Chains A and B, each alone.
Chain A
Amino acid sequence: MMLRRWIITLLAALVALVTIAPLLWMLSVSFMAPGEASGFPPPLFPANPGLDNYRTLFGSFGIGRFLANSLLVSTLATGLALLFTVPAGYAFAKLRFRGRDATFRLLVAALVVPGQIGMLPLFLELKAMGLVNSYAGALVPWLAGIFGIFLVRQYCLSIPDEMLEAARIDGASEGQILRRIVLPILTPIVVTLALFVFLSSWNDFMWPLIILADQDLYTLPVALAAMSRQHVQDNELMMAGAVVTTLPVLILFLSLQRFYLSGLLAGSVKG
Chain B
Amino acid sequence: MAGLSIDGARKSFGDTEVLKGVSIDVAEGEFAVIVGPSGCGKSTLLRAVAGLEALGAGRIVIGSRDVTDLQPSDRGIAMVFQSYALYPHLTVYENMAFGLRIAKTGKAEIAEAVRRAAEILNIEALLDRKPAALSGGQRQRVAIGRAIVRQPQIFLFDEPLSNLDADLRVRMRYEFASLHRTLGTTTLYVTHDQVEAMTLADRIIVLRDGQVEQIGSPRDLYERPATLFVAQFLGTPRMNILSATATVNGRATLANGREIALPPLAGALEPGTPVSIGIRPEDIAIGAASGALPFTIAFIERLGGLATVHLQGAGGGEPIACQLRDDGSLREGDTVPAFLPADRLHLFDADGRALARRPAE
Residues of A within 8 A of B (CB): 160, 162-163, 165-172, 176, 180-181, 184-185, 264-271
Contact = CB atoms under 8 A, between A and B. Distances in A.
Nearest to A270: B163
Interface of B: 50-52, 71-73, 77-79, 81-89, 98-99, 102-103, 130-134, 136, 139, 146, 150, 163
B129 to A, nearest CB: 9
B85 A171 contact: no
Contact of B88 (A170, A176, A265, A271): A265
A171 B150 CA distance: 10
A165 B52 contact: yes
Contacts of B52: 165, 168-169
A201 to B, nearest CB: 29
A268 B87 contact: yes
Given A160-B83, A162-B81, A268-B88, A169 B132 contact: no
Given A169-B77, A169-B79, A267-B132, A163 B87 contact: yes
A54 to B, nearest CB: 44
Residue of A166, A172, A271 ringed by the most chain B CB atoms within 10 A: A166
B83 A171 contact: no
Contact of A267 (B77, B78, B86): B86
Nearest to B104: A171
A171 B84 contact: no
Given A169-B50, A169-B77, A171-B73, A267 B131 contact: yes
A169 B147 CA distance: 10
Nearest to A172: B102
Nearest to B86: A268
Contacts, number: 88
B84 A269 contact: yes
Nearest to A173: B102
A269 to B, nearest CB: 4
Given A166-B81, A169-B77, A170-B73, A268 B131 contact: yes
Contacts of A267: 86, 88, 130-134, 139
Nearest to B97: A170
Contacts of A171: 73, 99, 102-103
Most buried by A among B86, B146, B163: B86
A176 B104 CA distance: 13
Contact of A266 (B71, B79, B132, B136): B132
Contacts of A271: 136, 163
Nearest to B162: A270
A41 B111 CA distance: 73
20 contacts: A160-B85, A162-B85, A165-B50, A167-B87, A168-B71, A168-B72, A169-B50, A169-B72, A170-B73, A170-B146, A180-B98, A181-B87, A264-B89, A267-B131, A267-B134, A268-B84, A268-B86, A268-B88, A269-B86, A270-B84
Q: Give the 6 A-B residue pairs with the shortest CB-CB distance, closest first.
A: A267-B132, A267-B131, A171-B73, A170-B99, A268-B88, A162-B85
B76 to A, nearest CB: 11
Given A168-B71, A270-B83, 14 more contacts: A162-B83, A165-B85, A168-B52, A168-B73, A169-B79, A170-B146, A171-B73, A172-B102, A176-B102, A185-B89, A264-B89, A266-B88, A267-B88, A270-B136
Contacts of B88: 185, 264-268
A242 B334 CA distance: 94
A169 B78 contact: yes
Nearest to B81: A162
Contact of B85 (A176, A185, A269): A269
B78, B89, B134 interface centre (most CB from chain A within 10 Å): B89
A163 to B, nearest CB: 4
Nearest to A267: B132
Contacts of A264: 88-89
A176 B163 CA distance: 29
A168 B89 CA distance: 17
Contacts of B89: 184-185, 264
A181 B131 CA distance: 14
A243 B24 CA distance: 74
A269 B83 contact: yes
A205 to B, nearest CB: 39
B93 to A, nearest CB: 14
A176 to B, nearest CB: 6
B50 to A, nearest CB: 6
Contacts of A168: 52, 71-73
A257 to B, nearest CB: 20
A162 to B, nearest CB: 4
Contacts of A160: 83, 85
A171 to B, nearest CB: 4
B89 to A, nearest CB: 4
A267 B130 CA distance: 8
Contacts of B150: 170
A236 to B, nearest CB: 49
Nearest to B72: A169
A170 B51 CA distance: 12
Contacts of B79: 165-166, 169
A266 B130 CA distance: 9
A166 B150 CA distance: 12
B347 to A, nearest CB: 43
B60 to A, nearest CB: 15
A169 B87 contact: no
